[in-house]
Structure 1
Amino acid sequence: MEKSLTAYLKQKKDAGEKIFVPYIVAGGNGLDQLEAEIQLLAENGATAIELGIPFSDPVADGPVIQKAALNAFKKGVTFKKIVATLENIHSPVPIILMGYANSFFHYGFDQLVKDLESTDVKGLIVPDIPYEHRDFILPRLAESDLAVIQLVSLTSTKERMKDLLAVGEGFIYAVTVNGTTGIDQAFQAQLDTHLAYIADQSPIPVLAGFGVSNRAQVERFNAACDGVIVGSKIVASLAQEKQETTSQLVAELTGKKNN
């Protein structure tokens, strides 16, 4: 059964559209702001939205996202409260939950699948569960409409890429740097060739993420694959609590500014 997120993103790709997925921290500015943030991102060109679950000891998040997560904790945000909030709001575009394995297992996968049925969440990203341990997740979600996003790193061998692409759903997350997320990353010279290879081999869209923070980078990676994920730049903008500034930023990143 093809998951709805996979079908939706493949349709965008087949129509010649470049995919843009902003990442935000759920509750970074309070859960009472979440619906407005989702609407703002969707209105300014988001194809889907990646929603980060705050975690106390992240392995892939840079300082901007870590700060937002700590702010969420100060506001009393929990995974349960995030899901409860999502049950009561509507997103114009699919939501993808990104979180660490401990958060998901503590919540309980079976209960989470049940609770998310009435929400607009259509995908999950769990970066610290490797391919070898995929059976901790995939069988539990096989009968659900939740796509499990696979990450391909710069150090992934072609053999490993083949395995990851074979089980990929929704899109393939092509990590553009070795290390954590953040603004002003230095990208390797061979990155474009790496992305183009993954995109050529993948049956589903391939998105570049980690460190993408300006329109020039978006255009560069759009030329090599099917779209991008932008996180820290948007999270930092939302932290300023000026929605107009964030609207302008997202419109610029998506190329919709002045259109």
Structure 2
Amino acid sequence: MKKLVAYITSAYPEKSFSIDLALALGENGVDTLELGVPFSDPVADGPLIEKANHKALELGFKFKHLLEISEMVAPKVDTLWMGYFNSFYQQDMDRLIPLASKLGVNGLIIPDLPHEEALPYNKLFKSNNVSNISFVAPTDSEERIKEVVSDAQKFIYMVAYTGITGSGQAEDLQPFLSSIKKHSDTPVYVGFGVNAATAKEKVKGADGVIVGSAFIDIILKESLSYSEKILKCSELAQIIKNEIN
């Protein structure tokens, strides 16, 4: 069974909505939830997620909201934090990683923390049973792929193309996938540009997909009530889960 990872922006439009949505997604095909930490300059994210980030910050997002959401969600849905390194570093990593573990958060996704700069934190992550998710991109050399994935935990985040999330650009991922799997038995999940229309093609040869912008597109629609947003996101999760399997 191939896995579905869903990204949502924490506390947008409000904390209680994020909790209700996260739990609903967990009941409708989502295997792992990425709780996004709103950040002012989300360089790896497309315009939809960037917009949701900015709106969350305008509405007063604080890091404590992420912790409160996680406390309610992580015991019931496999939960990761996705954010930019500055957001985590400001919280003091030596304090934050044990706290994540205590809350039941199983890993962090930090797109702007290169492999080499993450190495000093390896012991901290491992001693608390929290994964630091590894990224590989099409621009990486064979040698670098081997180095990055040699100790990958939970899953490898395979960037589907060189760019930002949400664009849905098509390309042949099979040679890239083969080079990753040659060096690691860790599951490989495809991210960037995955939606209901592209999921079936993108998951070929991979073990799962990561979907963000397609959910955020629904959450941003002001014409929908909270319950309608949750229903549509749940339906989308079911569709994508069926498509990839």
* TM-score, structure 1 as length reference: 0.86
Q: 1:37 to 1:91 in 2, by over 3 A?
A: farther
| Unaligned residue ranges in structure 2 (runs of 5+) | none
Deviations 1:39-89 (A, max 9, x none): 111111011111111100111011100111111112211222211332244
In structure 1, stretches of 5+ residues that fail to align are 1-16
Kept after mapping to 1: 8 A contact 2:6/2:33: yes
Q: Is 1:160–2:144 an aligned residue pair?
A: yes
CA distance in 2, matches of 1:70, 1:238: 14
Match of 1:147 among 117, 131, 148: 131
- Whole-Å Cα distance in 1 between the matches of residues 143 and 163 of structure 2? 22
Pairing of 1:67-106 with structure 2 (within 5 A): 67-106=51-90
What is the letter of the counterpart of residue 72 of structure 1? A
Q: Distance in 1 between matches of 2:64 and 2:42?
A: 19
Separation in structure 2 between the aligned mates of residue 177 and residue 91 of structure 1, nearest angstrom: 33
- Correspondence for 1:214: 196
- Secondary structure at the aligned position of 1:27 is classed as coil
Q: Deviations over 1:109-153 (max 9, x none)?
A: 111123223323101111111112123421322210101100000
Instruction: Report % sequence identity.
Output: 33
**TM-score, structure 2 length as denominator?**
0.91
RMSD, aligned CA: 2.0
> Which residue identity is paired with 1:94?
D
**Distance (Å, rounded) in 2 between the aligned partners of 1:194 and 1:24:** 27
SS of the residue 1:182 aligns to: coil
Runs of 4 or more above 3 Å deviation: 88-91
Equivalent residue number for residue 186 of structure 1:
169
1:202 equivalent among 149, 164, 184: 184
The residue type paired with residue 228 of structure 1 is V
Aligned length: 239
Give the distance between the partners of 1:43 and 1:157, measured in 2 at CA.
Answer: 39
3-state SS of 1:167 partner: coil
Report if the CA contact (8 A) 1:165-1:203 is conserved: no
C-alpha deviations, 1:181-200, integer Å up to 9, x for none? 114x2222x32331243234
Q: Which amino acid aligns with 2:186?
A: I
| Other structure's SS at 2:90 match | helix
